[in-house]
Chains A and B, each alone.
Chain A
Amino acid sequence: MNQKNNNVILEVNDLKMYFPVMRGLLRRKVADIKAVDGVSFNLKKDETLGLVGESGCGKTTIGRCILGLYRATAGNILFQDKDIAKMPEKKLREMRREIALIFQDPYSSLDPRQNAGNIVGEPLKIHQMVMNRGEYKDRVEQLFRTVGLDPSMIDRFPHEFSGGQRQRIGVARALACNPSLIICDEPISALDVSIQAQIINLLEELQDGARELSYLFIAHDLSVVRHISDRVAVMYLGHIFEICKSRELYDKPLHPYTRALLSAIPIADPFVEETRERIILKGEVPSPLNPPSGCPFHPRCFMAVPECSQSVPTLKEVIPGHEVACIRV
């Protein structure tokens, strides 16, 4: 897994995405919201990288930058050795055949006026992946079966499906062009507990069955992310604080924020809960408009020292394959 480049499908280097804040009559720029502020990571072939963090930490923004939906302020995003951040619009369209997206809300992300077959098949038409009607029909039916839907439901409309089935339609649409990377943006958080496992298992099975498929799995639920991912990146206010193998995340969390985040999540086992360490953080996530100086976490950190407010720590490999951005580690 540690081989260089030939194994890496996506490499993000020092990515920055700032959104300008305009004020006044002349719409002058008064400040930047630093949604993503210097993020680097890579994603290997057939790997699942989890991206966790609380709302507003920039995880969705990273996903959108990778799809070229936002043009990054700085940094580069190398996908199959081509830089998405600087790609012209026309090239981006071609590239989106290779990178697909699964959305959070299966209710608002499907066009209510198109039937399920059209929703799944539209990417095939746009990217001219099929030659004729027969082939198109076959491919759509095949996609339905792949995600566990009955092809006889092709003519139904989104409102006739349950939440879990709708998310399956969303997965089928993402798979339509045989992508090599799927960005899953909170794909299960809108679903009921007993349905969530169905979608998690579907995503896992698809990856096992595919010739080559990587996931960038964006979610706020650490237990889900840890379950599905090979590696996990923990984000806070536009920065990555820790990247490691998902097993190490629970066994050996190093960054104080990761430790607090882990302890904040209750485990469904009263016996384990009795003895667990609980770190309750003070305060709330600061606004990205006016982030604290130095390490963005230092005002809430239980390990902070005066030096923490001086410089922004960068990711350092502390243990092989385990990177942390903290001067106290």
Chain B
Amino acid sequence: MTELLKVNNLVTQFKTENGIVKAVSDVSYYLDELEIIGLVGESGCGKSVSQLSVMQLINAPGEITGGEVIFEGKDILKYAPHSPQMRAIRGARIAMIFQEPMTSLNPVLTIGQQLTEMLVLHLKMNAEAARKRAIELLGMVGIPAAEGRIDDYPHNFSGGMRQRVMIAMGLSCNPRILIADEPTTALDVTTQAQLLELMRDMVKHFRASLIIVTHNLGVVARYAKRIYIMYAGRIVESGTTKDIFSKPRHPYTIGLLKCIPRLDEEEGRKLVPIEGLPPNLINMPPTCAFLPRCSWKIDKCYKEPWPDITPVNDNHYIRCFVDTSDVNNEPKKQ
């Protein structure tokens, strides 16, 4: 498979009164054609900011201070955020779906106006063709009687329906990459399942690749082929979904898998919480940010800065000094 997107050593910082917030530090990942990958982490770990950086949607006081984003062979970070080249990519070649379907649609424009805007702008369609295509797209994402609904406003739609509209918008210009940032978090369980299935089918239909940004390990286990785990602005572990769930190597990943309740767990299983709190991203020490919460730490962790991400296996990388594999790490049903 060919590589579609490659992000190298991305750094995004926010200058605040209290100091510099290193939201994303040294993040590298790649995405192949027709692939679904997952970017997992807790709130504030930089997973959303890293994706907004790819789209160059970072506003002051935020700034992308380093790295490159290679999309179809070109470093798109070289384009200015408002340059015609970047505009031709953003929304058209790389599209994004946001978490809040309630707030990411404009309440004073109809669904049709918002959907045709992109078609006219990016695909240079005339109004009539755009409207026809918009109705077609709404039908594809499962909005019943789309001709009748296209002139409705966002408030006429339920949360799930609004997110369907967002999916239609995201895919309207045949993007190569769809970035879904917590696409179903605000929705009900059965609606979540509907939308995730829809998103997977639609991405397949449009021959696009999908990046799912989420805190839900279940969602990535079900849909993603490869996973990147983020903590405190860095990727701490990456690998195939099966490797990460069956042989997690970074202490944070190991901890995360032990602290979530599972639907199929056996009775009497005790959760093992990760003690402590995620770090403040201002004035972080050079040592590993997970160190204060880590149960595997060794002396070296205190003395040396956070190590680079290194391979432990084919396609399985961690950012850690400790070899956690000599203890039996199989995901036990405790």
Contact = CB atoms under 8 A, between A and B. Distances in A.
A complexed with B: yes
Interface string B26-54: 00000000000000001100000000000
A192 B260 contact: no
Interface residues of B, number: 46
A266 B267 contact: no
Q: Give 9 closest A-B pairs by Cβ, nearest first.
A: A266-B218, A227-B261, A264-B193, A197-B273, A197-B259, A268-B217, A266-B222, A54-B188, A197-B271
A194 B40 CA distance: 13
Interface stretch (B7-15, B60-68, B240-248): B240-248
Given A223-B263, A269-B221, 5 more contacts: A196-B260, A223-B218, A223-B265, A224-B261, A264-B193
Contacts of B194: 280-281
Nearest to A285: B188
Interface in A246-278: 246-247, 250, 260-273, 278
Contact of B193 (A162, A196, A197, A263): A263
Given A273-B222, A284-B160, A54 B261 contact: no
A192 B245 contact: no
A271 B247 CA distance: 12
Nearest to B265: A227
B245 A271 contact: yes
A289 to B, nearest CB: 14
B76 interface: no
Given A200-B271, A220-B189, A273-B222, A268 B262 contact: yes
A284 B278 contact: no
30 contacts: A192-B43, A193-B215, A193-B217, A193-B256, A194-B273, A197-B259, A198-B273, A200-B271, A201-B270, A220-B188, A222-B189, A223-B265, A226-B261, A227-B269, A246-B267, A250-B263, A264-B192, A265-B189, A265-B218, A266-B218, A266-B223, A267-B218, A267-B222, A268-B217, A268-B245, A269-B221, A269-B331, A270-B222, A270-B245, A278-B197
Contacts of A280: 193-194, 197
A222 B191 CA distance: 15
B216 interface: yes
Contacts of A281: 190, 193-194
A140 to B, nearest CB: 24
Contacts of B221: 266-270, 273
Nearest to A165: B277
A114 interface: no
